[in-house]
Amino acid sequence: AAKKSFGDGQIRAMFTGMNQYFLANRLSAEQQKGATTAINQMLSKQKVTAEELKGQLAEHGLPGVIDLFAQAAGFGNDTAKLFKAMEKGKVGIDTIQKALMLMGEESTRMRDEFGRSPVEMYQQSSQAAQIRAKNAWAEFSLQVMEGGLDQFVATLFDDIAKGLKFIMPYAKAFG
């Protein structure tokens, strides 16, 4: 949807800013997915609606995003004006573009304020460390399983299943 309205450079800048903003706000992968879906829906409709903005985007861990969209629409921090304009269908794709660019600017401001980019901040977070640990565990498990443990575990579970089938009549007798 965005390709029809923007050039490749604009799209790259908008989505880079958006992703950095998501990282700066420490959105989980699920929250990022939901927020991206909301933005894609806005882009497809070529307008901002309360459903996507308030009902999806803000609920995915970005409560300040409504103010950001109000600024992008030229209403300052007056969200009431933003919602009135949305009801009339007057908040279009240009506002979405500006809001995504503002997300990037906010990320830059955070980098300047904290001395680290949102990506660096995220990489040093416990959430990122948990993901690294999860990935390392998955890789370790794969190596162990490929090393022969998988066959052993499969045989063990087959033996357990055979044993359960064997004792089933006795269990029924007590039941």
Question: Model confidence over 80-130: pLDDT tens digits?
Answer: 999 999 999 999 999 998 999 898 888 778 777 777 766 777 777 787 788
Give me the pLDDT at residue 118, please: 65
- Candidates 73, 28, 17; CA nearest to 50 is 73
Lowest mean pLDDT among 1-5, 59-63, 108-112: 1-5
Taking only Cα atoms into account, the Rg of the chain, rounded to an integer number of angstroms, comes to 25
How far, rounded to the nearest angstrom, does the alpha carbon of residue 52 sit from its chain's CA centroid? 15
Looking at the predicted structure, is the pLDDT value of residue 71 above 70? yes
- Candidates 54, 61, 57, 59; CA nearest to 24 is 61
d(CA 18, CA 119): 12
Interval 48-54 mean pLDDT:
89
Which residue has better confidence, 145 or 165? Answer: 165
What number of other Cβ atoms are within 10 A of residue 134's Cβ? 10
Q: How confident is the model at residue 63 (pLDDT cuts 50, 70, 90)?
A: low
Q: How far is CA 9 from CA 15, 21, 39, 43, 95, in A?
A: 10, 18, 18, 16, 17
Supply 149's token pair: 């443990």
Helix or strand (DSSP H, E) at 5: helix 2-5
Q: What percent of the chain stands above pLDDT 70?
A: 94
